[in-house]
Amino acid sequence: MHDFEALPPVQRTAIAQSSSPQATVSLRRRQSPLAAASHQLAKLEALNLLDTTNCGDFSAVLANHGWNSFQPASLEIFQINIGKLCNMTCRHCHVDAGPDRREVMSKDTMDACLRALDQTTAHTVDVTGGAPELNPHFRYLVDQCFARGKHIIDRCNLTVLLLPTMEDLPAWLAERRVEVVCSLPHYRQRNTDAQRGDGTYEQSVEALRRLNAAGYGQGNPQRRLTLMSNPVGAFLSSGQATLEQEWKAGLLKHHGITFDRLITLNNMPISRYLEWLEESGNLQHYMELLVNSFNPAAIAGLMCRNTLSISWDGRLFDCDFNQMLELECQPTNGKPMTIHNFEMAWLAQRQIATNRHCFGCTAGSGSSCGGAIA
């Protein structure tokens, strides 16, 4: 296993000494039962959803809308999760990431990802984590994808850019035309700090300034700066286009910051957000809301249909959420498959693994790593 100890000492020190905000500590570190994916799935399964549409059975809802067989469309996006290590510990995190998580992708596994990528027609490589920038081979992976002419996305938590080892990163990413997709719950301080920890907002604003200074967020498609927001509470995201205008005006007026687009996501009822739902007494209500807000127009655009998600240890999933729930892809030839023995032809014919958490992607305007889908 390639772990935290494999990080260069300077990076370990930077994480240990960083003043990155911490809203909580990981489920794993607290030895919470919810750290186990099986426990999360059981918790969702145990809810009584008999009074909701189709009793909360996602496969039945799909079948009712003509999707008896739920298979992927053509592969467009390789989403590589290169580790659970993060400088932050946000309350809503679906990865259960944090500074204590030691799992990071090795260079060997990255090379296997690149060999697999070369077998496909995927045009985009979406690099996520944890904080993907903390993986010691992050820049190697980005360089390799850039050399292949891929569109690259870095899912960045913003505060990581303030670590001493990351000062040159905005300009480095800009040179490689990487789209930076930054999580920011709200353009106002209170909501952001509530979800991600005190001090997050201030650090995020400074990071956005650095990205602007590197040419990001000013309408240049080769320096695209996308902000990603998810609700602070137990409600659905909505009004992406309207919110974008409001955010653009707010950030410009108060901080002189510009960005290119805003995407909104629903919170998925898994991991630390599931814990928050349960502790705050919102779990039953939120699941009913997700199920009753099912929008059939979202099905065709679900990200599991055009994305392959790869975990730090090279396992294959339909999406990052299934990855966190350990619901691995089942290739049609029945042979266990990882990125090391990847065969696109077998994988393309699989059935996508679904469960109750999937209602998070089909509720309201729909939700994906690219924002609203309906």
Tell me which residues touch ligand SF4 (CB under 6 A): 86, 88-90, 93, 95, 97-98, 129-131, 157, 183, 302-304, 318-319, 321-322, 352, 354, 357-358, 361
Whole-number minimum distance, CB 62 to ligand SF4, in Å? 9
Using the minimum distance from each CB to ligand SF4, give the nearer residue, 109 or 157: 157
Question: Which candidate, 367, 229, 241, places its Cα nearest to that of 303?
Answer: 367
Using the minimum distance from each CB to ligand SF4, give the nearer residue, 262 or 303: 303
Using the minimum distance from each CB to ligand SF4, give the nearer residue, 40 or 183: 183
Whole-number minimum distance, CB 262 to ligand SF4, in Å? 17
- Residue 328 phi, psi dihedral angles, 5° rounding: -75, 155
What SS3 class is residue 27? coil
Using the minimum distance from each CB to ligand SF4, give the nearer residue, 114 or 160: 160
What SS3 class is residue 23? coil
| Distant-in-sequence, close-in-space partners of 337: CB < 8 Å, separation ≥ 6 | 316, 329, 331, 343, 346, 347
Using the minimum distance from each CB to ligand SF4, give the nearer residue, 131 or 145: 131
Using the minimum distance from each CB to ligand SF4, give the nearer residue, 114 or 370: 370
Whole-number minimum distance, CB 232 to ligand SF4, in Å? 13
Whole-number minimum distance, CB 348 to ligand SF4, in Å? 16
What SS3 class is residue 372? coil
Cα-based distances in Å from 165 to 81, 143, 162, 294, 362: 21, 18, 8, 44, 39
**CB count in 10 Å sphere of residue 241:** 11
**CB count in 10 Å sphere of residue 117:** 22
Whole-number minimum distance, CB 154 to ligand SF4, in Å? 12
The C-alpha angle with vertex 374 and arms to 305 and 220, in degrees rounded to 5, equals: 85
**128 forms bridges with which residues in the sheet?**
81
Whole-number minimum distance, CB 149 to ligand SF4, in Å? 26
